[in-house]
Structure 1
């Protein structure tokens, strides 16, 4: 029998266009669940009789659930397959969304958001794992690029849609909308998702094997480097996401509708760059794109901190917000593809660590950027610079170019060797 780790996925197990669309929408549930209710933050604080930090806590609990859920569901799926955890998780997410919609206070809302994140983690972690099951090399990078594009389109659409929903029916209607959408995706998954992890490729042996696999994945220096690059860059983005409703509305004086428009236009930049990165996959070296993205991110974040310290001028800061987000389009998809290639058949575990650290860091960032109150952008600027620098340091010190293979050759290599040849 051929080694499955060096054999391309069979035609039977290649992802169909319908499956990729479903996976992209499931992956988008994370940003949708975050960004749809962002325009309502100031109003929610008054309605629930809580503070800005109290409202941001509902985001923090969601992110903790999203992160811890991936850490559990990813390795579980390496042992029992992808389909069952995906279906159970999305149904739990739909039920929790209903509880969010009727929550009478910030405490119950925060608890329901934790459960919403826990269930929603299935779609996020397993979408990446299913792509890794069904594609290799440049093909996987392109598919992961598609997932990234959908995820960054969501922040473009979500604040605008959320602003319209909130204006028409209040912030609770946002969660009713999410519940209906997630239930629809759950039913679609029930009939549209087949198992992609062959029985012979699954981990056996329970927790002992799971811990062994985790050790193997994390001991891979390149995997850890790409993991930290992605997660620190995402934390920098989340510093902006968490603070922007208060900075743009309270400090800059823009309305909920204008905030939603500005947020969407800034997010459009990462969408455009992600499309470019996906088109370049296999033609331009992944490491080259990541390097460009990191340099631009550090410079943009430094500029934001300087302007935050000098009075938060609106136009320069909005421009730098857009530049920072655009730079991430070269980082996210490429770093994810390289990390999961390093994980090989342990893609569920690799995806779990990536997703867990990503959202646990984001959960820590959300309340931290609110420590300075609602009238300063300095904590956000400090966080963005710090995380951009940590992403760059992780990339430079931990990842290695170990082959002279030309850009674009990765798709022709076995999975175990593909990333060692990434140029």
Structure 2
């Protein structure tokens, strides 16, 4: 079977795997963070920089992969990214100190982000409008299996082996995905590729940044991502260190949030044809409500472990209403520069994650408050961007009615 004869199901499976690389790169080793902290002679603030280091590499390198793919196609950059991922994962497995681990995590991220950003661009190449948003929701639902089982698999690996085996497992995933890439069709024909120099292509980011409608969509998702990564960075210590639960139980609690994501994505798939904007609003309001209860629990201890689990579950479950709708809305404005627009979107999303995870590490004080406050501030940012988006939509309606 060659790439040209690839079925819709085959494409769906490969794209889901590519989009899952960001999740599996972090979720699989989350239960090992406390163990790695001691093995690498680090502390809780420094070990969380292994997440921030990944996000730095992931965020910055997207700005390069997008324009490169608009000029040279999607498959070759993805293959090159997978090689970086394999090398970076190998470096992580062999690291003996925290500085080396942070460096190799950044290299790992450079490769992982090529898979994620270009998978989104491929969706934009092949689908349009509500169908693109529906496809993204389907991909997010399918790829949710990775973070659903990731922490649990990581906990199981720790039960029978060391934390280094987790990264050797990621090496194997990278190799298998590189082999499967031969079944993926090239979605950007040579006739549709940009012929400008890469310098001019990069300058196109200025035009994208000045587009307020586009930036409002990106902002809603970026602030939400900031809150999610504060959750990712803070929960291992909130659950394992603060509430003294086992890495295996932590994996189950983490999986609970992924189930919520899968459910809301399915709801989104079935209702997206009715009103995409309304679903986006529902997601943001859900995040805001969850943030209020999270602050109350972290401040007062009200509800104990359950008082922490429930608002965190509601917060991450909003992913199903926010991510696919904000991405499809943003990518709808520049169909001829889907790679660059997807790269900018991803860079700002994960850039927000860099800031939030770094803040969780900087303000770590042995309580739940730093994580809770950072997630609440991110929720406020999503609300602000939603207000801007509503204003831009209102202006567009006025202009349309005058014509």
- Quick check: TM above 0.5? yes
**Is 1:301 the counterpart of 2:291 in the alignment?**
yes
Between 1:127-136 and 1:334-343, the stretch displaced more is: 334-343
Partner of 1:315: 306
- The C-alpha deviation readout for 1:146-174, integer Å capped at 9, x for no partner, is 22223433221111111001111111110
Q: 1:243 aligns with which of 234, 249, 252?
A: 234
Q: TM-score, normalised by structure 1?
A: 0.89
**Is 1:84 the counterpart of 2:79 in the alignment?**
no
Secondary structure of 1:182 counterpart:
helix
Cα 1:141/1:253, change in 2 over 3 Å: same
CA contact (8 A) 1:290 1:334 kept: yes
Spell out the pairing of 1:217-296 with structure 2 (5 A cutoff): 217-282=208-273, 284-296=274-286
Secondary structure of 1:90 counterpart:
helix
- Structure 2: distance between partners of 1:64 and 1:357: 11
- Structure 2: distance between partners of 1:323 and 1:20: 27
Cα 1:372/1:208, change in 2 over 3 Å: closer
**Is 1:48 the counterpart of 2:32 in the alignment?**
no
**Is 1:366 the counterpart of 2:361 in the alignment?**
no
Shift of 1:15: 7.6
Partner of 1:378: 369
**Is 1:164 the counterpart of 2:156 in the alignment?**
yes
Spell out the pairing of 1:3-402 with structure 2 (5 A cutoff): 16-189=8-181, 191-282=182-273, 284-311=274-301, 313-373=304-364, 375-399=366-390, 400-401=392-393
CA contact (8 A) 2:66 2:343 kept: yes
Listed as ranges, the gaps of 5+ residues in structure 1 are 1-11, 405-419
CA contact (8 A) 1:133 1:345 kept: no
- The C-alpha deviation readout for 1:230-266, integer Å capped at 9, x for no partner, is 1111111111111000011111121111111111112
Shift of 1:360: 1.8
Shift of 1:128: 0.2
- Structure 2: distance between partners of 1:223 and 1:120: 25
Q: TM-score, normalised by structure 2?
A: 0.93
Equivalenced residue count is 393
Between 1:197-206 and 1:208-217, the stretch displaced more is: 208-217
Shift of 1:39: 0.6
CA contact (8 A) 1:13 1:196 kept: no
- The C-alpha deviation readout for 1:218-240, integer Å capped at 9, x for no partner, is 33222111111111111111111
Shift of 1:199: 2.1
**For the aligned residues, what is the CA RMSD?**
1.9
Structure showing the higher helix proportion among its residues: 2
- Structure 1: distance between partners of 2:114 and 2:7: 18
